[in-house]
A and B are shown apart, each in its own frame.
Chain A
Amino acid sequence: MNTERYQRQIILKGFGMERQERLAMAKVLVIGAGGLGCPALQYLVAAGVGLIGIADHDVVEISNLQRQVLYASSDLGLLKVEIAAKHLQQLNPEVKIILHPILIDKENVLDIISDYDIIFDGTDNFESRYLINDACTLLKKSLVFAAVSGFEGQLAVFNVEDESGIKTNYRDLFPVPPANGEIPNCSENGVLGVVPGIIGTMAAGEIIKLIAGIGKPLINKLLHYNLLTQEQYEINISPSDEYKQLDSKTDFMNRYKENTSQSYMEIDMQQMNELRNHPSTVIIDVRERHEFPQLDSNIYKQVPMAEFAGFASSEIEEQNIILVCQHGIRSVAAAETLHQKYGETKNIYSLKGGISKWRRHFLTTQHER
């Protein structure tokens, strides 16, 4: 270890070489290399955390650049984990960086997190957040949770015991995941770039505190931060009895078993192209009108989520209904709405990964306006 690199923190009272060595021995997994993940990664790598995993399957989009500060305008379309690793390795060649360029799902999550000591959840959707929370709780992994909305952020440390031996997790706060579309995400609600910058940096601080064993990490606490007022509000979390504890991998897999009542299908671009040639097919873009890239409204019928309930109350003539949105999350909510209405009488599809995943296709066809 090049101690000169870390000299400013080694000389800190209450830190010293011993804590620096603990950082060098630590293994941290950052899930989501986005607005929260970028600053967290920068500070963790700079501080000398020995091994850092980065999990993200997305490519860089222009709308990321306002807050995801590891990426440049020349990186559009490239894998985030690869760009991030390149910069981070230049920042600190002593850190070992492992790339996981995949979407974390129920099949791979337990394997991936089992190799790490501390997991950072910087993802952008509830599905991933509950999955990561449950996997970390089952494997008793420390989990630093960070999330943002608009001008506000939330931060907490889960699965770490306090002095009384009590530990909590995200389900103690919110036992049941919100329904799709119930709580808006950043692409619908917006976020000021500096907010994930602040919360992601605070999360890196919590991770360093946990590894080094200094200060008071946010164990059994939820911190709310508001940029507009610069107010912080801290809430004490106590265990809830409103959810079932997971005792085994079987419990975990059962919780995430495919919902057999689901009858909409998630499809890829090739399947969508086959379906679009069918005469009785309609493709509906459920993004807000301001979102890019804008698509040809003659081909993609525009019905933003805010108007979707009203739209769904009228009859759709076509037999095949394909829903698309930016990331394939809102389109699932819309598919569920239509499935409730039509059941098995129509074929309902959602484009998996959304326009961002198939961006090249949407941009290279003449469908774009």
Chain B
Amino acid sequence: MQIELISFGKISDFISNQNIEIEGIETTDDLKKYLEKNFPGLADIKYKLALNKNLVQQNSEIKNRDSIAIMPPFSGG
């Protein structure tokens, strides 16, 4: 299935906005593992996922054409 990745801040330095084709990934927990394996920079920083613009607070099912945002915290002022 295909999903859309949208990234912000420092994360967009190594994950650009893109549509990716994924197989065998059914949940947001699966996706986290996949992302941290394919984009090792992600494993070192705090980030949060949003599935179709809703913050992911527990493992959630991913469907074809879903959009996933990957957000780091910002501290600058």
Instruction: Identify the A interface with B (CB < 8 A).
Output: 32, 34-37, 122-126, 129, 146-150, 152-154, 172-174, 176, 178, 182-186, 189, 191, 196, 222, 224, 226, 233-242
Contacts and interface: CB of A to CB of B under 8 A. Distances in A.
B50 A235 contact: yes
Contacts of B76: 35, 124, 147-149, 185-186, 189, 191, 196
Interface string B1-24: 000001011100000000000000
Interface string B24-66: 0000000000000000000011101010011101000000000
The number of chain B residues touching the other chain, given as a range, is 20 to 34
A173 B48 contact: yes
Contacts of A150: 9
B52 to A, nearest CB: 9
Nearest to B72: A183
A184 B10 contact: yes
Contact of A176 (B46, B53, B72, B74): B46
B60 to A, nearest CB: 11
Contacts of A146: 77
Most buried by A among B46, B54, B73: B73
A174 B56 CA distance: 11
Most buried by B among A126, A129, A148, A154: A154
The 10 A-B pairs of least Cβ separation, nearest first, read A124-B77, A147-B74, A186-B76, A149-B74, A235-B50, A148-B76, A36-B77, A174-B73, A178-B46, A126-B75
Given A235-B54, A238-B54, A122 B46 contact: no
Contacts of B6: 233
B46 A238 contact: no
Nearest to B12: A152
B57 to A, nearest CB: 5
Nearest to B67: A233
Nearest to A36: B77
Nearest to B77: A124
Contacts of A149: 9-10, 72, 74-76
Contacts, number: 100
Given A147-B74, A183-B10, 12 more contacts: A35-B76, A148-B76, A152-B74, A154-B74, A173-B48, A173-B73, A176-B46, A183-B45, A183-B46, A184-B10, A196-B76, A242-B57
A222 B77 CA distance: 17
Contact of A239 (B9, B57, B69): B57
Contacts of A222: 55, 71
A233 B69 contact: yes
Contacts of B44: 182
Contacts of A238: 54-55, 57
Nearest to B8: A224
Contacts of A154: 74
Given A152-B9, A183-B75, A174 B55 contact: no
Contacts of A123: 75, 77
20 contacts: A34-B77, A35-B77, A124-B77, A126-B73, A126-B75, A129-B75, A147-B77, A149-B76, A152-B74, A172-B55, A178-B73, A182-B46, A185-B76, A191-B76, A196-B76, A234-B53, A236-B50, A236-B54, A236-B55, A238-B55
Contacts of A240: 57
Given A233-B69, A240-B57, A125 B9 contact: no
Contacts of A34: 77
A176 B48 CA distance: 11
A123 B75 CA distance: 8
A226 B12 CA distance: 12
A148 B50 contact: no
Contacts of A172: 55, 57
Contacts of A153: 74
